[in-house]
Structure 1
Amino acid sequence: MTQKAAGYYWISPELYDQDTKIIVQKRKLLEAHCKQKDLVFLDLSVDLALVKNPLERPELKQLLMQLQPGEFLLVESMLDLGRRFNDVYSILKLFRDGLVKGGFISIREEIFLESKNCPPLFLDILPRIPQLKPHHRVRVMPTERTRSELSRNNGGACPYGYQINAVSNEYECLPEEAKVVVKIFRERAAGRSLRQIALGLTHAGVQTKRGGRWQANTIKTILENIFYTGSYQTHFKLFENHHAPIIDRELYYRVNHSDSFDDIAL
């Protein structure tokens, strides 16, 4: 039976102005892969980053419904499924649970899933998801640049727990705020809800960066931010050892593994 592949690409907001060029390049790459692997390339579906729930993206939703046995959802990289780990997990979970008839292929991470091999492979591939394991990301900054050069602030808001050194213009930890960040991650790992953590900090008199009250969404933003592991991430590049970490990656992994993470009541 001839196997087929339907390409997919989620395009992030910062790339909207380059979307036409990127989509053309993406289609050529996926077509070339299909030719190499003797797959029939169906088409490339593209979603803009307008829907929070990845399973409600119109193009992806339609694509997953139409996949048949012997057909695959094809992406160049897991990064093309979304920015967050939960985006990828939510989509792969459909394949694991047998809710999608076809299979899944990610070229860069060398992931190949079919209904017959998905359950045993699923746990094995989780550590290879780049949104969780940033050292698997491509285009890491060249090593010849010094840590000092990479650690300088290039503008934008400074995350809670850090400040910009007035002399070096580098990120440095604020000890008291860093303790709060660690507390947030540990309480979440222990099973406390986002609202419970926010209420606890507010009742303890802890203020946010702007001196306000803690909200569940504020807690969620901190928990999803890989910056606290010492890495600075853009859509295409990862700056490893960019600044002093507040938490380790293992804790970040444990906290962000849940497929129901978007529910602020949990």
Structure 2
Amino acid sequence: MKAAIYARYSSENQSEKSIDDQVRVCRNYCNEHEITVSNGHIFIDEALSGSLVNRPGLQALDKAAENKEFEAVLVDDLSRLSRSNHQMLTLVLKFNYYQVKLISVSDGIISDDENSKLGIQMRGLINELYLDDLRKKTSRGLEGQKLRGFSAGENVYGYCTKPVGELRLNKKGQAKYDGMVHKINPEEAEIVKRIFKEFADNSSIHKIATHLNEDKTPTKKNMRGGWNVSTLSRILKNEKYLGKWNWRKTKNVRDPMTGKKKAIPRPEKERVPIFREDLIIIDKETWEKVKKRQQDLQGTWPVSKKKKAFYPQKSYVHTSPNHLLSGLMRCNTCGGAIVLMSGKGTGYYGCYNAGRKTCNNTLLIPRKRIEEIIIKELKENLLTTENLEYVYKNVEKIAAEGFNEVPELVKKKNAQYEKIQQEIQNYLNFIKLGNVSKAVSEALTEAEKNSDELKQEVGSLEFQKENSFKVPPKEWIKHRLENLRETLNKNTVSSSLALKELLGPISLEPILTKENDFYQLFSGDEKNFKPYCVAHSKIRTLALLDDERKGSNWLQWRRR
């Protein structure tokens, strides 16, 4: 019987050895019961809570089970699938529908046994009660840190954190302090004051965002797209700039169907007021002016229930690209992302910030046409004799990474090796501070021993990788390149990432003239300036052309 193994640990503070232990327990069970598990059917989620629905490893397991790639799924215990009783029972029902048996080794539960239903229900209830208890303990711990003046994880624009207290090593050999405390970031604090002052002086939020983007003012996390209305609205509502770092104002509840969190207000009696005079950035007079103007605007301009006509599709919120050019193009006016907009047919690409009225670049590009031009140009360049030879020389390495199971193990071992190297460095830094003890010396020796063993394992696996795959014939490679569009569309995510790596970011710059509006596109390295294609536009929706003779006013897409 073919089977798959699923393993998970929930916190970065837990040992990664937990994954190996779970897999070992499941493999031992397989050996005792003549069950076969290939390396390709071991699914893991590292440092992810069991309450989350959208775990990459769990989603891959679900997809493989639906495709009938195995007949059973093994877990160390049912809590590895989910701590939520509802989610866990849903997964059990899905596996039953797929006709895939679920085996929980430590619980002694097999889903197709007659008496398994009661056992599954009981384990699910126990796991959910454990999760509730863990939430309460975590909340108490964070509240204690907060009352002692330490940070509880807040990342607010205008502030930064610094470590305080005694330096010590945790169980993983990482240097840790007693806690982190907030302090004012002078550069960011000036930006916060500017935002409040401009809004109090009757500037609109849209206008403030536009000015900040034009000045290339950095955001807290250097967000893609720069400053926008949502970010500025949150800043203008944040009482922390008044020194009010209140605790337990809201609590998170999770949608049982989607797994998404939502913050809801707590009752007044549950809130913990905390005042930090040393963290005041905005004076009360400015704050009151801002609040009064917000109230006046809210009364004058009620929120419309209708969506804006010029509004991006929802595809831009996904973490993985849905289209070939997803994440590849940028607006040269504001630095924001060029995303797929609503429109007829396959849609149009345009500046995301223009939809939020924080950028004046409202030009649109037909998606289908720009994809055709890019693929046509790529194909012509790839099918030269020189490039075909280059592709052939490199395809063995690429194919081996895609089809051989060994590279994934190499990657995992390399990651373990790098972490041990960091652990060794932490020990050495700890010793340099004068903290020499027998326990530290023994731990350092053990870490160095593990490092040497992992280095040998990686070397052995690298040898297996280089000698376990044969290169496909040149005819096959050429055929795939000739059908480039079909090849790229088979896996949009991988293809989009490959195009991004190959072309680099493409910057779209509108060129305004008396007659027409144009786009000028740039890509890659400035040293190799080369015309790519041209386009002509008499209206704001650009009709991209690849023949410069079709118009005197044309758009150049250049790769540099």
**TM-score bracket, shorter-length normalisation:** 0.3 to 0.5
Task: Give the number of the structure whose residues are more often helix, by fraction.
Answer: 2
Tell which structure's C-alpha radius of gyration is larger: 2
How does the TM-score come out when normalised to structure 2?
A: 0.22
